Chain A
Amino acid sequence: MVDLTQYLPILLFLGVAVGLSALFVFLPMGVSRLTGAHNPDAEKLSEYECGFPAFEEPRDRFDVRFYLIAILFIVFDLEAAFLFPWAVSLDLTGWPGWITMMTFLVELLIGLAYVWKKGALDWE
């Protein structure tokens, strides 16, 4: 069984975060509701004179390049995640483990060089 008491600080942090974010959301709503006059009508809720009604749905198609960035992010994210167990177990794996990870890093470095050379990291 896992000793759950060591997760108590995380729980406390979570509680503080939830409390603070709820405060930020609901305090202005409550204050404005209590202090301001609240009687909306159709004219008041319509777009202001220099705004304009939305022409299309907000969920629009967008550029495939975002997707490329996300995939590259996943690959290097995984690389970073693989570094954690390697770092803590280096005393058990020794030089073979070190060489393994360096080979892995070089493999991804080749990929990074390719990506860079192709200009996939440039937006324009």
Chain B
Amino acid sequence: MIHTLAFYLFAVLVIASGAMVVLARNPVHSVLWLILAFFNAAGLMVLVGAEFIAMLLVIVYVGAVAVLFLFVVMMLNIDFAELRAGFIRNAPLGAVIALILLAELVLGVGAYRVGIIELGTPDGSAAPLLGESNIENIGALLYGRYLFLFEMAGIILLVAMIGAIVLTHRESRAHRAHQNIGKQVARRPDDATEMKRPEVGQGVEL
């Protein structure tokens, strides 16, 4: 009973905040609605028993990705009123993409229902694979059977890190003046001054 209630609460909130992401006038508000959608998706994940995914959603998506979205939205400084004027023009393309995504969803769920994809049973009551909990199962698979894919993920993260630095990091613009006391103290008058005795009417060549 409470399960069903919680499911409908989370599902309605996800869809509503997803719609608000698209409909909000201010892109910063869109990002905030997106964060609400992430939270409710995490709630849905808890309901199906995927606690680790729920935790990842909150930690990674809400904690990091949403912040990154905010940065991007604030950094681009786009004239959004002008951007919105192209809505009608771009609407068919958006509709096509939405249809493709819908078709993929239908195909995926349909194949799962028919039984081509082995994920367990549709009601989520499949017997645990190896360990006791979901997280243990994920760990056993990720660091056992799929360890090379995991290492590849690590390499991709490394590439992302280095790429971000290559793209955005600037070397310090000006050479900063450091005081070298030893050099200052060791400086003698002979190093600093030079006696010249120019002829009358001649200049000094430095």
Interface of A toward B, CB cutoff 8 Å = 1-2, 4, 7, 59-62, 64-68, 70-75, 77-82, 84-90, 92-93, 96-97, 100-101, 103-104, 107-108, 110-111, 114-115, 118-120, 124
A78 CB, min distance to chain B CBs, angstroms:
6
Does residue B130 face the partner (Cβ distance < 8 Å to A)? yes
Within 8 A of A (CB), among B23-69: 28, 46-49, 52, 55-56, 59-60, 63-65, 67-68
**Residues A111 and B161 in contact, CB atoms below 8 Å apart:** yes
Chain A interface, >50% SS class: helix
Residues of the B chain whose Cβ atoms lie less than 8 Å from the Cβ of A100: 143, 147, 150-151
**Residues A96 and B164 in contact, CB atoms below 8 Å apart:** no
A-B CB contact pairs (8 Å), 26 listed: A1-B3, A2-B48, A59-B77, A60-B74, A61-B74, A67-B168, A72-B164, A74-B60, A74-B68, A75-B157, A77-B59, A77-B63, A82-B150, A85-B135, A88-B136, A90-B139, A92-B140, A93-B139, A101-B143, A104-B150, A107-B155, A108-B154, A108-B157, A111-B158, A114-B165, A119-B169
Does residue B206 face the partner (Cβ distance < 8 Å to A)? no
Residues of the A chain whose Cβ atoms lie less than 8 Å from the Cβ of B56: 81
**Residues B165 and A68 in contact, CB atoms below 8 Å apart:** yes
**Residues A85 and B151 in contact, CB atoms below 8 Å apart:** no
Contact check: which of B28, B55, B75, B139 meets A62 at CB < 8 Å? Answer: B75
Does residue B142 face the partner (Cβ distance < 8 Å to A)? yes
Interface of B toward A, CB cutoff 8 Å = 2-3, 6, 28, 46-49, 52, 55-56, 59-60, 63-65, 67-68, 71-72, 74-75, 77, 124-125, 130-131, 133, 135-140, 142-144, 147, 150-151, 154-155, 157-158, 160-162, 164-165, 168-169, 171-172
Contact check: which of B47, B136, B161, B168 meets A2 at CB < 8 Å? Answer: B47
Contact check: which of B65, B71, B157 meets A111 at CB < 8 Å? Answer: B157
Name which of B74, B139, B165 has the most chain A CB atoms within 10 A of its CB.
B139
**Residues A97 and B60 in contact, CB atoms below 8 Å apart:** no
Contact check: which of B52, B140, B171 meets A93 at CB < 8 Å? Answer: B140
Instruction: Determine the distance from Cα of A80 to Cα of B137 in the docked complex, in whole angstroms.
Output: 18
**Residues A114 and B162 in contact, CB atoms below 8 Å apart:** yes
**Residues B168 and A64 in contact, CB atoms below 8 Å apart:** yes
Contact (A71, B160) CB under 8 Å given A88-B133, A89-B136, A124-B172: yes
Q: Give the residue name and chain of the B residue nearest to A3 (CB).
A: B49
Name which of A4, A78, A89 has the most chain B CB atoms within 10 A of its CB.
A89
Instruction: Determine the distance from Cα of A86 to Cα of B138 in the docked complex, in whole angstroms.
Output: 9
